[in-house]
Chain A
Amino acid sequence: MSAKPLEDKTARDKTARDKTAEALIAAARALAPEAVFAEPWEAHAFAVAVALCQAGQFRWAEFQQSLIEEIGAAEKTGRTITGGADYYRHWLGALTRLLDAKGIVGGAELRARIAEVGPPPPSQDPDGRHGRGQNTRGQSNKRDDK
């Protein structure tokens, strides 16, 4: 994602595309050793919350309260937060809980859609973006964060 605009400028040799992307990501890391988002899903979880707030679906303080509850519940059980992916998991938990409470996206509706987008397609199938294959992989450890 962050490598995309750079790629346009530098990736002149199409055959070296993957290598270039790798080099560019390394270069971007060197420039910003602490990447803002470690994974694309973190960026999207972040952006969805901000966009919904900007669209007036909730006040930022409401989201914050939900986040405080998520983090507080985890820490109460003695779990510590590193501030990385675990933080964004709580962020996502706070967001989905708030959207459920407000009737914007219901919990059942979300679970149904998750079942459609996952389980992940096998990597040999580059066009496998549909969720029809009833692969049970990943179901066992599927568990509600909360």
Chain B
Amino acid sequence: MSDGHDHHDGHDHHNAPLSEPAQRVKALEQLLVEKGLVNPQALDELIDTYERRVGPRNGARVVARAWVDPEYRKRLLDNAAAAIEELGFPPGPQGEHMMVLENTPRVHHLVVCTLCSCYPWSVLGLPPVWYKSTAYRASAVNDPRGLLKEFGVDVGDKEVRVWDSSSEMRYFVIPERPAGTENLSEAELADLVTRDSMIGTGLPKSTARHVR
């Protein structure tokens, strides 16, 4: 118990003094708990969900299914939220209005949220740091090709379409299925699908790299 270290305060590492925002959050949380508006256990569950259970592996499964099952692909294009829920991923706060964008040999889609950080949480988890940065949000609009180059993505002479997410609509990219993957299982295909390939800032891994 009192072993000299306060391990029982849950979230504070060592005895480091709380930073200013940490104090604000702690104060806010205390007040909300006292008012009966939030439950600490529910908060821990939410954090655990977004740290460990919801992430791009969800989206990868959706993409792989769409690659192997034309009927599913159709349902996904028609009503993304419903098709995603079919695989056991409920929409949650940022997944109710979702649109799937399918890359083709001619078109490459790129997703951004120019005003804040809208992102399809149910399939990709929470956005990476760069997605929320001023730099990304500005250059996706001003210079999408230059941005793709920075991410190491060569789209050749494909048309690049940039989609600005909002509270009304979130987007999620189905990348093109890599060549030479005909014999892979759905699970193996899902392993090829990277987070960035579903944002449009990356491409799926190639099978060459997949085969060890």
Is A134 among interface residues, defined by CB-CB distance under 8 A? no
Task: Among A53, A116, A129, point to the contact of B9 (Cβ < 8 A).
Answer: A129
How many chain A residues touch B (Cβ–Cβ < 8 Å)?
A: 64
Interface residues on B, range: 35 or more
Provide the bound-state CA to CA distance between A1 and B16, in Å: 15
Are B129 and A83 within 8 A (Cβ)? yes
Asked if A136 is at the interface (CB within 8 A of a chain B CB), the reply is: no
**Given known contacts A36-B125, A71-B116, A110-B24, is B17 in contact with A48 (CB within 8 Å)?**
no
Considering the chains assembled together, what is the distance between the CA atoms of A80 and B137 in angstroms?
11
Q: Would A50 and B18 be within 8 Å (CB), given that A80-B133, A92-B24, A109-B31 are in contact?
A: no
Give residues of chain B (17-38) contacting chain A, Cβ–Cβ below 8 Å.
17-32, 35, 37-38
Q: B23 touches which one: A1, A52, A61, A117 (CB < 8 A)?
A: A117
Q: A110-B24, A118-B18 are in contact. Are A44 and B136 (CB under 8 A)?
A: no
For B131, give the chain A residue with the smallest CB separation. Answer: A83
B131 to A117, Cβ gap below 8 A? Answer: no
A99 to B61, CA, bound (A): 37
A126's partner among B2, B21, B23, B39 (CB-CB below 8 A) is B2
Contact A52 B37 (CB under 8 A): yes
